[in-house]
Chains A and B, each alone.
Chain A
Amino acid sequence: MTEKADVQQNPTVLGLRTWNAQAVLEVCEFRGEITVVVGREHLYSAAEYLQKDSALQFEHLSDLTCVDRFPMEPRFELSYHLVSISRRLKVRLRVRVPGSDPVVRSLTDLWPGMNWHERETFDLFGVRFEGHPDLRRILMPEDWEGHPLRKDFPVEGFR
C-alpha cells in the first residue's frame, strides 16, 4: 500500500518517526485506520513512547490480537490497538513474528491489563511473551496439545 500525504501528517506517525525513524518499518492506512509496523526489537520502546509521550498519551490499550498468515512468512501478525482517551486518537501498532521463533517482549510492565490478552494469544496461537509474569493457558484445558487458532491446526483435532 502506498503512503498517502495525510497519513504522514498524522500526529502519531509524525511522533513515532521523530522519536526513532529506524524503528518504523511501514505505515499504512485502510478505511481510516492507521497501522504502524515496528520491528520486533522496538515493540516495547515504541509502546512505551506512545504511552508516556505527553502529546500522544495512549493510556488505554484496547486490544491485542494475532493473525496467522500461514503459509506466508513471517506468519504471525500481532496487532495492538491503542486508544488515547485524552487526545482522542487511535492507532494500531503491529509486529510481525516468524513461525520458527514466535517470541515478543511482554507489555505487562506498561499495561498490567495485558496479562490476560497475552495469555490468550499464547494459548490460541502459541506466541510467547518474554517477561510475562504468568504465561499459562487461559481458555483451553491445561493438557491441551497445540494452539487451536493456528491455521495449520486440524479442525477435527490431532487425534
Chain B
Amino acid sequence: MPTTVQTATGTAQTMVLNMGPQHPSTHGVLRVMLELDGETVVKVESDIGYLHTGIEKTCEAKTYSQVITLTDRIDYLAPLSNNLCYCLAVEKLLGLQVPKRAQYVRVMLTELTRIGSHLVWLGTHAIDLGAMSVFLYCFREREEILKILEFISGQRMMTSYFRIGGLALEPPTGWLERMQRFLNMFPSRIDEYETLLTENRIWIARTKGIGVLSAADAIAMSVTGPMLRAAGVGYDVRKYFPYSSYEEFDFDVPTRTDSDCYGRYLVRVAEMRESLKIIKQAMEKVPAQGPIRSEAPGIVPPEREKMKTEMEALIYHFKIFTEGFSPPPGEAYQTIESPRGELGFYVASDGSPKPLRVKVRAPSFVNLQSLPKMVVGRQVADVIACIGTTDIVLGEVDR
C-alpha cells in the first residue's frame, strides 16, 4: 500500500499501479503490482495463479501414456520439449532404452521447437518495445516451423509426437527435404532480424544496461537458461548432463557477460544459430530406416500390422490401452534444456498404472521470481523490457 517517501522537494506518496492480468505485455495473465515513486519502481510483486489448471493433480488420475497430452499444454510454445522431458523421466523410471534413430529425431524436433519458441519470444519482445515489423518477420518463419511439425506429427502445436519408448509415428516421406529447405532459408532470416535490431539505436537504448541480473544473484535465485548464460555462467543441461545423445553433437553454448536485456537478446539469437548446427548434424546422423520405438512389449504399443495378425500383440495392445503399464515403485527426476531454461519432470511411482506424483520444474516459474531484482529502482518502461526478456509462458508458470 502507498507509503511516504522523501523526495528532493519534500515528502510525497507513492502510487500503487496494477499491471495486468489483462495487460498485453505481461504475455498472458500475469498481474504485477508496482509501487511507484513518480516513474521509479519502489517495490514490485507478481501475482500468479490465474492460469492454474491443476495439471499436476490431473496427472495422478491418468495413465502414464495419457499424461503426454497434458505436458503439451504446460509450455504451449515448446510442446516437444515438454514431451521429451516427460518421456525421458518415465523411460528412466522404467529403465527403457530408446533406439538411436528415435533419439536423433527427438533432438532435431526439440531444436526446431527451440527456434520456434525463440522466434515467438523475439517477435513479442520487439513488439513490446515498439519494433512492430520484427514481429511479422518472426511469425513468418515460425509458421514454417509449425508447418513442418504438422507435416511430421499431424498437429501444429499440441504435437504429442514423442511417446514413452520412442515416437508416435514413422516420419512421413520427404520430411528431411522439408527440414533441409528450412535450414537453407533460415540463416539469412536470422541476419535479417539482426540488421533490424542488433545495431538499432532505439533497441539498444531500450535494452542495454536494463534489467541487470548478476551471475551470483541469478544462481541464488535458481535462474537458468538464456538468463543465466547472459550473466556469464555457461550452465546448459545439454552439455552438463547430456540426454537423448546430445553428447554426440558439436555445438557451442553462447554466453555473454553483460547480464542485461541486450545480452539475453544476443544469447537467444546465437542459440538459434547453434540449434541450426545441431539439426544439421542430426540430419546427417539419422538413419533412413530403423526402429523408432523400443522393443518393450506391454509398454510400447505393438505395430498395427502385428496387432491384427498376432494374438500376443493384440493382448498387449488391449492391456496398454485399457489398464496401462505399471513401472516399478521408485522415482525419477529428469531435467532438459528447454528454450526457457532447465525444465524438469519428477515422476514417482507406487507400482500402479497411474503416477503417484508428477511434478514439473517449470523454468518460467523460477525465472519470474527474479523480477524484483531486475526492476527495483528502474523506470516503469523497463518493467516491460524485463518481463519480456525473462521469456515467461504463463501456462508453465501456473500449470
A residues whose Cβ falls under 8 Å from a Cβ of B: 30-33, 59-63, 65-68, 79, 81, 85, 88, 90, 92, 111-117, 120, 124, 137-141, 148-149, 155
Contact = CB atoms under 8 A, between A and B. Distances in A.
28 contacts: A30-B332, A31-B92, A31-B330, A33-B332, A60-B219, A60-B224, A62-B342, A62-B344, A62-B361, A63-B333, A65-B346, A65-B359, A67-B331, A67-B348, A68-B357, A79-B331, A79-B333, A81-B344, A85-B233, A111-B221, A113-B220, A113-B223, A113-B366, A116-B369, A117-B366, A139-B52, A139-B398, A140-B52
B220 A112 contact: yes
Contacts of B331: 30, 33, 67, 79
B365 A85 contact: no
Contacts of B333: 33, 63, 79, 81, 92
A130 to B, nearest CB: 20
Interface in B11-43: none
A85 B57 contact: no
A60 B52 contact: no
Contact of B49 (A59, A61, A139): A139
A113 B92 CA distance: 27
B61 interface: yes
Interface centre among B52, B56, B332, B359 (most CB of A within 10 A): B359
Nearest to A35: B331
Contacts of A115: 369
Contact of A67 (B52, B241, B332, B356): B356
B2 interface: no
A69 to B, nearest CB: 8
Given A111-B222, A112-B220, A79 B346 contact: yes
Nearest to A77: B348
- Which 6 residue pairs across A and B have the least CB separation, nearest first? A113-B222, A113-B221, A63-B361, A65-B359, A139-B49, A139-B52
A115 B369 CA distance: 8
B117 interface: no
A137 to B, nearest CB: 8
Nearest to B58: A155
Given A33-B332, A81-B346, A155-B61, A138 B92 contact: no
Interface of B: 48-49, 52, 54, 56-57, 61, 92-93, 95, 219-224, 233, 235, 240-241, 330-333, 335, 342, 344, 346, 348, 356-357, 359, 361, 365-366, 369-370, 398-399
Nearest to B344: A63
Given A30-B331, A60-B222, A92-B333, A85 B369 contact: no
Given A62-B222, A155-B57, A88 B48 contact: no
A96 to B, nearest CB: 14
A46 B220 CA distance: 17
Contacts, number: 91
A4 to B, nearest CB: 15
A67 B357 contact: yes
A31 B332 contact: yes
Interface of B is mostly: mixed
Interface centre among A33, A62, A140, A155 (most CB of B within 10 A): A62
Contacts of A141: 49
Contacts of A114: 222
Interface centre among B235, B342, B346 (most CB of A within 10 A): B346
Contact of A30 (B56, B330, B344, B398): B330
B289 to A, nearest CB: 31
B48 A139 contact: yes
B348 A60 contact: no
A117 B222 CA distance: 11
Given A30-B331, A60-B235, A62-B335, 11 more contacts: A31-B330, A33-B332, A65-B359, A67-B357, A81-B333, A81-B346, A81-B361, A88-B240, A113-B366, A117-B366, A149-B57
B342 A112 contact: no
B52 to A, nearest CB: 4
Contacts of B330: 30-31
B97 to A, nearest CB: 12
A9 B82 CA distance: 34
Contacts of B57: 148-149, 155
Contacts of B49: 137-141
Given A30-B331, A113-B369, A148-B57, A90 B241 contact: yes
Contact of B222 (A61, A68, A137, A140): A61
A141 B48 CA distance: 10
B219 A112 contact: no
A114 B369 CA distance: 10
A116 B235 contact: no
Contacts of A111: 220-222
Interface centre among B219, B331, B366 (most CB of A within 10 A): B331
B219 A59 contact: yes
A65 B48 CA distance: 19
Contacts of B220: 111-113
A96 B52 CA distance: 27
